[in-house]
Structure 1
């Protein structure tokens, strides 16, 4: 049976991801700050294990125990949209979590690398290609780096995977999924995946429903061909009707 650890499981996208994984028969370990935050998720088959903990304060060995036996790990972590969430600590929430997963995997006995799927953003360019956004976008992004710590965190988290983990890590494979403007929808709809943004995320953003992001992330972990297509890359996802 596929087994997954979901970081940020109580967030807007994380909750949807947990539900989709359970519906697809995956055994899920959901890491949340408060156990009651997933109280309304139906788990009729006993495949959901809710762990109340702060990823930022967990020891590597504790995380390794959760990762043992997992085939995939998802990060839907993000900063709360509040003054404290944006400018308070930990400012490197996502980056530190990704680095902690990489360290913890070194402690896990496994014959196969684990698949890590990171939820990122189209405001972050893939410097492996490299992408060349228009000057107007680069200017705004440079400003965001100065005034919005969460944007820097998103960039550094993806950079850790690109540079520190790379393409040939013996314990960890990865994909960083980049949605455009996030919206809420109840059902999975048609969506498209691109290697790079086809719209300007600052001045001409498209839309991506959170449930489509969650569905793509779940499919990456379950579909070997899809994983091999995007492994080590930063695919961009749009709702098809918006392209």
Structure 2
């Protein structure tokens, strides 16, 4: 098995990489030249490092990046700076996901599992989820004013509506954590099909360690994957 992790230098992405190191799984990571990673990750024999920006990769380079990968995990996100929020690329996550899917579809011999880290702020209306009037108003404002949220919504909608449940080559899970917090170790957590609390007024918390553990378990446990395939599970700390 080989896993590709995008956004590996981010706070959650680093936790995901460590999960695979601990499981002795070959992991390819794409990082910018300016990215900073701990020495034990950079020099780990289970880690293969590719340098580059996902939004600048051409078709041939994407095909090379995806070679031999069975699972692709996206922890991509915008930097929380003025430039990162309002500057280009506006659709970092969406463009990466569509490029990956188009590349995979060009190779009839390739089957992949794709795990997208999204947000509790995404509402899966196709599964029957609905927001209150107050939540709709706030989410509309957030979507209007914050491009990263629009990016997350567009990427999730693409997997649900365009790839769907019947694509033979690409199987996917969209993971929606609550408000992300930093914990040193994994702790008990629960996974639900839909939010069990208000994503706006009572979003709950989820440690990055727990998110990374759940995504790693999706990768290695077939029964867990089958349970959540083509779904948008929500994960909360207990």
Give the TM-score, by structure 1 length. 0.94
Q: What's the secondary structure of 1:175's corresponding residue? A: strand
- Structure 1 residue 40 displacement after superposition: 2.3
What's 1:156 paired with? 154
- Structure 1 residue 212 displacement after superposition: 0.4
- Structure 1 residue 231 displacement after superposition: 0.4
Equivalent-residue separation in structure 2 for 1:57 and 1:18 (angstroms): 23
Equivalent-residue separation in structure 2 for 1:122 and 1:223 (angstroms): 24
- Structure 1 residue 209 displacement after superposition: 0.2
- Structure 1 residue 36 displacement after superposition: 5.4
What's 2:91 paired with? 92
How is 1:119-130 mapped onto 2 (pairs within 5 angstroms)? 119-130=117-128
The CA RMSD measured in Å over matched residues stands at 1.4
2:178 alignment partner, one of 177, 180, 197: 180
- Structure 1 residue 34 displacement after superposition: 2.4
| Structure 1 residues 214 and 164, CA gap change in structure 2 (3 angstroms) | same
8 Å CA contact retained: 2:120, 2:203: no
Equivalent-residue separation in structure 1 for 2:94 and 2:34 (angstroms): 24
Equivalent-residue separation in structure 1 for 2:219 and 2:34 (angstroms): 25
How is 1:190-209 mapped onto 2 (pairs within 5 angstroms)? 190-209=188-207
8 Å CA contact retained: 2:27, 2:48: yes
8 Å CA contact retained: 1:181, 1:206: yes
- Structure 1 residue 70 displacement after superposition: 1.0
In structure 1, runs of 5+ residues without a counterpart are: none
Cα deviation per residue 1:96-135 (whole Å; 9 max; x = unaligned)? Answer: 0000110111234535x20000000110101221201111
What's 2:129 paired with? 131
How is 1:1-243 mapped onto 2 (pairs within 5 angstroms)? 2-34=1-33, 37-42=36-41, 46-108=45-107, 110=109, 113-240=111-238
> How many residues were matched structurally?
238
- Structure 1 residue 13 displacement after superposition: 0.3
In structure 2, runs of 5+ residues without a counterpart are: none
Equivalent-residue separation in structure 1 for 2:158 and 2:87 (angstroms): 22
| Structure 1 residues 193 and 83, CA gap change in structure 2 (3 angstroms) | same
| Structure 1 residues 62 and 123, CA gap change in structure 2 (3 angstroms) | same
Equivalent-residue separation in structure 2 for 1:209 and 1:34 (angstroms): 28
Q: What's the secondary structure of 1:41's corresponding residue? A: helix
- Structure 1 residue 35 displacement after superposition: 6.5
